Amino acid sequence: MIYVNRFSKTLSPRLRVGYLAASPELVACLLDLKLLTHVVTSELAERIIHHVMTQGQYRKYLSQLRTRLSATRARVIKELEELGFVAFADIGYGYFVWMRHPHVSNTTELTKSAFTRDMLLAPGGMFSPGGKSSPWLRFNVAHTGKPAINALRALLARH
């Protein structure tokens, strides 16, 4: 069993530092592989992460971040539901929510219309191995504010 994660979503996208948890033997093999295949890791980024983790503030910060994200997620889902969207399944946490609109069968066309208005949507087909059309859209709740909701409302009125 291996667990791999990173700090880019919680601390900063510029800090390209990750971590893994596995058996000591597997960690040793993966460390050798990393040293052979990766030219350099930013020591400064690693030191920043080490400082944050050893000062004891990370858990408190992460808890506050989760609280804010949860409130934002609930607001975005509510606003999208008011536009007629239906959630695939709300697991109650995370940066993304999958939703579909009953009057939009091809999200690729909606995505193209949105793009002409400087709005970037993520159609479900992007996440399909074959790129098949999908009625689902993936919304990043941290980046779906009032302007995006209003633009989406206008787009839906035209479709």
Quick: pLDDT tens for 90-126.
777 888 999 999 998 878 888 888 888 888 889 988 8
Rounded CA-CA distance 149/139 in Å is: 11
Containing 61, the helix (H) or strand (E) segment is helix 58-82
Domain boundary among 11, 28, 55: 55
Q: Are residues 84 and 44 in the same domain?
A: no
- Asked if residue 47 has pLDDT above 70, the reply is yes
Structural domain contains residue 154: yes
pLDDT the model gives residue 39: 65
Structure tokens at 108: 């690729």
Q: Which domain holds residue 100?
A: 68-158
Residues near 72 by Cβ (< 8 Å), separated by ≥ 6? Answer: 141, 142
Mean per-residue pLDDT for 118-142?
A: 86
Structural domain contains residue 61: no
Is this structure's pTM higher than 0.85? no
Give the total number of structural domains in the chain.
2
Q: Are residues 73 and 118 in the same domain?
A: yes
Q: Are residues 84 and 134 in the same domain?
A: yes
Mean per-residue pLDDT for 71-100?
A: 90
pLDDT the model gives residue 75: 93
Structural domain contains residue 109: yes
Q: Are residues 100 and 150 in the same domain?
A: yes
Rounded CA-CA distance 123/135 in Å is: 8
CATH code at 118?
A: 3.90.1150.10
Q: Are residues 48 and 104 in the same domain?
A: no
pLDDT the model gives residue 70: 92
pLDDT the model gives residue 24: 93
- Name the DSSP letter for residue 30: H
SS3 139: strand
Mean per-residue pLDDT for 65-82?
A: 93
Q: Are residues 35 and 8 in the same domain?
A: yes
- Asked if residue 57 has pLDDT above 90, the reply is no
pLDDT digits (tens, 9 = 90+) for 9-46: 788 878 888 888 999 999 998 888 888 887 677 889 88
Q: Are residues 149 and 102 in the same domain?
A: yes
Q: Are residues 138 and 83 in the same domain?
A: yes
Structural domain contains residue 63: no
